[in-house]
Each structure stands twice: as C-alpha cells, then as structure tokens.
C-alpha cells in the first residue's frame, strides 16, 4: 500500500511479509508511502521490519469489512495484490479455501476498490507459478 506523501503516491499491498512482497516493500519504500496487509500465514513481520506498525494491517484479506474500511480511509493510488493460497497441495486438499482466497477475495477487493477508490491509478495482481504446472520448458531459475 502506498499513502499520500510518498514521492509517487500511496499503495495498498496485501500479503507482503513473504519473500516476494518483502523485497518489493524494500524497493518501493524509496519512492512510495507503503502500507501492507498480511495475516502472516506464510510471511513474517520481521521481513517487513522497515515498515512502521501503523503502516501494517495484520488481518486476512477475507476480512472484508476491515479491508473496506482501510480502502475508504486511505484512498490508495495503487493496489498490489499478492494474497493467495500458494500451496498446491493445500489447494487440492482444501478447494473451497483455495477459491475463497484466490478467487472470491480478489473479486471482493476489486469491488471494494470500485466503490471507494474509483480514482485508483493501477491495480496489480500477481499470481503463482503453480498455475503453469510442471512444464519442462518453463524457466525455473
């Protein structure tokens, strides 16, 4: 997440305490006021220790009322959506949970943005490499 006051604006980023998100936070903080939502299911607060506590919302992306209040209050310029159930095994074992996090939560987030952040500059969605399966030609390194 970025907030006004950053060089280029403010951003709302979710599930950013993991490997990819934490590195993006480090990079984006140079030019943006970054805010993060994460439930620490797979990430750790220590991975984003450079963020002040008031820039981190510890909650699940499916806590829609809280997400709605955050979007309404902060009016982010950018939303970078990384929230996902990334374990293929867990997705197979818990297909409803997988759909709730990977599909429904994304759609709900888009609806919340449409309702409260109609002037948003950009919504960026990152998926998992797992969607490609185990293709021999897929670059893995």
- Where exactly are the structural domains of the chain? 2-129
Contact predicate 37/14, CB 8 Å: yes
What tens digit of pLDDT does each residue of 12-65 get? 666 556 777 788 888 888 888 899 898 888 888 888 888 888 999 999 999 999
Rounded to the nearest 10 degrees, what angle do helices 64-74 and 105-116 cross at? 30
Q: Which fold has domain 2-129?
A: Rossmann fold (3.40.50)
Per-residue pLDDT tens over the stretch 95-132:
999 999 989 999 999 999 999 988 899 999 887 666 66
Please classify residue 53 by burial: count the beta carbons closer than 10 Å to its beta carbon, then call 0-12 exposed, 13-18 middle and 19+ buried: exposed
Which of 102, 103, 124 minimizes the C-alpha distance to 113?
A: 124
Would the pTM count as exceeding 0.75? yes
């Amino acid at each position: 997440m970025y907030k006004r006051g950053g060089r280029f604006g403010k951003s709302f980023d979710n599930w950013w305490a993991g490997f990819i998100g934490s590195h993006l936070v480090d990079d984006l903080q140079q030019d943006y006021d970054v805010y993060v939502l994460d439930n620490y299911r797979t990430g750790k607060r220590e991975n984003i220790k450079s963020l002040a506590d008031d820039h981190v919302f510890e909650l699940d992306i499916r806590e829609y009322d809280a997400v709605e209040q955050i979007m309404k209050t902060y009016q982010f310029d950018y939303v970078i959506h990384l929230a996902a159930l990334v374990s293929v095994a867990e997705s197979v074992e818990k297909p409803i949970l997988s759909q709730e996090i990977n599909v429904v939560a994304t759609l709900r987030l888009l609806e919340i943005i449409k309702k409260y952040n109609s002037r948003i500059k950009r919504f960026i969605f990152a998926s998992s490499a797992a969607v490609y399966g185990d293709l021999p030609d897929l670059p893995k390194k």
